[in-house]
Amino acid sequence: METNGASLTPQQALAAVADARAQLAERPVHPSWYSPARAVVLGALVASFATADATVMIAAAAATLVALMALSLAARSRTGTAVLSDRRHGARRALDDYLSMLSLFVVLGLLSPVLGGPSWPALPVALATVVGMTVSGRRHERALQADLRALAAGAVR
């Protein structure tokens, strides 16, 4: 194996790989704006339930999908990585918690106008969605970072 024109021994090559993995593990998984932006998009979806208008809710759901895809692509282009976590690691558990919380907020937002009462309760639920999804998203990012560090430390011995 050669690096910058210099020949490396197998031990040096393994050490170089370990260093590269350690450096990659220290890179941010997502940009700092990613979780709050994603939370605002999801909060806007839940806020659309306050209208109790199916057309508005369907349009909001479609806009949410487009916005989430755009955010994902922007984050991936910013960091240069896309991280998929394995179910054995903490990041997968954090993602499962995140999706459970999102499901709860969506159900609560949908129930407020459906139950026949005023639709305004969807707005506090939307605010709770923004806060909860930001906190949960940050937790997921920390778990991903920890998983990457653990994998980098144990990948090459």
Name the pLDDT band for 155 (thresholds 50, 70, 90): low
When mean pLDDT is compared across 15-24, 25-34, 70-79, 90-99, the lowest value belongs to: 90-99
Report the pLDDT value the prediction gives residue 4, as an integer from 0 to 100.
Answer: 59
Half-sphere exposure of 77 (CA within 13 A, CB side): 6
pLDDT at position 115 is 63
Per-residue pLDDT at 114 = 65
**Rounded Cα–Cα distance for residues 56 and 50 (Å):** 10
Distances (CA, A) of 81 to 6, 28, 40, 56: 29, 9, 23, 35
Is 49 a residue whose pLDDT tops 60? yes
Tell me which H or E stretch contains 2.
Answer: strand 2-3
**Which of 90, 91, 84, 72 minimizes the C-alpha distance to 33?**
72
Task: Give the residue-averaged pLDDT of 110-126.
Answer: 69
Q: What is the mean pLDDT of residues 122-133?
A: 82
Contacts 24+ apart (CB under 8 A), 14-22: 14/156, 17/156, 18/152, 18/155, 18/156, 21/151, 21/152, 21/155, 21/156, 22/152, 22/153
Condensed to tens digits (0 to 9), the pLDDT of residues 54-113 reads 788 888 888 988 888 888 888 888 877 665 544 455 566 666 667 777 777 777 777 766
